[in-house]
Structure formats: structure tokens, C-alpha cells
Amino acid sequence: MPDAELEMVINNLSNGDRKAAIDAYKSQMRAHFRNKLERDNDNEKAILKHWGYAYNYAFDILHTRWPAFEQVMREAEPRVDSLRARSAYNYAKSIAGERMPEVEKHIVTDALAAVDYAKNVLGRAWNSDDEYGDIANETISRHPTALYTYETEVPRGRGIGM
């Protein structure tokens, strides 16, 4: 995808384009199930505007990492958005299969996603050596359910109160 087009996608991520993302995802999914998938640049641009569908597209259709989605996540400013946080976590865990420090800024905005990432990707508690570790621990500490799970299920390290 040319840089100018990708920049437009990054700067216009909103739920206002949700219907276009849904339609594009459905179109690509139908082609995938007919074994006639041809990557469509217009459909992919629409899908990139909705992180949930972008994750599903990479997972269900591409079955591999999607560099365009990784770039969108890397370049987007973090904001409190559970869908974005969960999509970034799911992508790191289920598609990349490894820690993705460049998308952690999105994950730490949601306490439950931050706990799941610590448990299933980091394999340890967040700590101050992690770029977003202090933010993750603060976010988790304000969510009683997440905090309980974090304290009882995440391998001990230098996380909250350690």
C-alpha cells in the first residue's frame, strides 16, 4: 500500500467507516471460502479502519502477519479503546506469536487486555523496565477484576507491589 494511502488510513481510524469495513471483510471472506481470494487494496484499506476486522482478516483469511495492520498499530496514537487494545493483544498472541513492544502502547490502555498480554505473551508481570510497564500496572490497579487475575494468575516478577 503506498505511504500516502496508508497515512490517510492511520489518520482516519474511526467507527464511522465501520459499515465499509464490515462489507469489505465479508467480501474478502466470501472470496476466501470460494478459494478465489485476491487481495483487494480497496477492501484492505476499508478493513484497516476497524481494528477488530483487521485482526480477524489477518487471522481468518491471511493466516499470517499483515504488515499494513502492524504499521497502522505502530503509527496510531494510543487512546482508551477496548476494541483496539484487545485487537492488538490478540494479534500479538495469535498471529505474531511473540511480544510486540511497538503495539503495547495500545494494550496497556485496557486493564483486561494488559493482564492477558502479561499472562499469555510476556509470561510475567509488567515491570518498570518495560516501556509501558508503569502505565500497564496503573491501569490494572484501577480494575478490581483485572487486578485479582493479575495477582493470582500472572507469573510473579516485578509487577504491582513487587
pTM: predicted TM-score of the whole model, two decimal places: 0.81
The backbone torsions φ and ψ at residue 22, rounded to the nearest 5 degrees and listed phi first, read -60, -50
Query: For each of the chain's 162 residues, which pLDDT tens digit applies?
Result: 444 444 444 444 445 577 878 777 777 777 777 787 778 788 899 999 999 999 999 999 999 999 999 999 999 999 999 999 999 999 999 999 999 999 999 999 999 999 999 999 999 999 999 999 999 999 999 999 999 999 999 987 644 443
DSSP letter for 133, please. H
| pLDDT for res 35 | 82
Quote the percentage of the chain above a pLDDT of 70: 86
Burial class (CB in 10 A: 0-12, 13-18, 19+), 3: exposed
* Chain centroid offset of residue 94 CA: 10
| pLDDT for res 162 | 38
Q: How many C-beta atoms lie closer than 10 Å to residue 119's C-beta?
A: 17
| pLDDT for res 16 | 59
In three-state secondary structure terms, 60 is helix
For cell 476466501, the residue is 32
Taking the C-alpha atoms of residue 137 and residue 57, their distance in angstroms, rounded to an integer, is 31
| pLDDT for res 157 | 60
| pLDDT for res 156 | 76
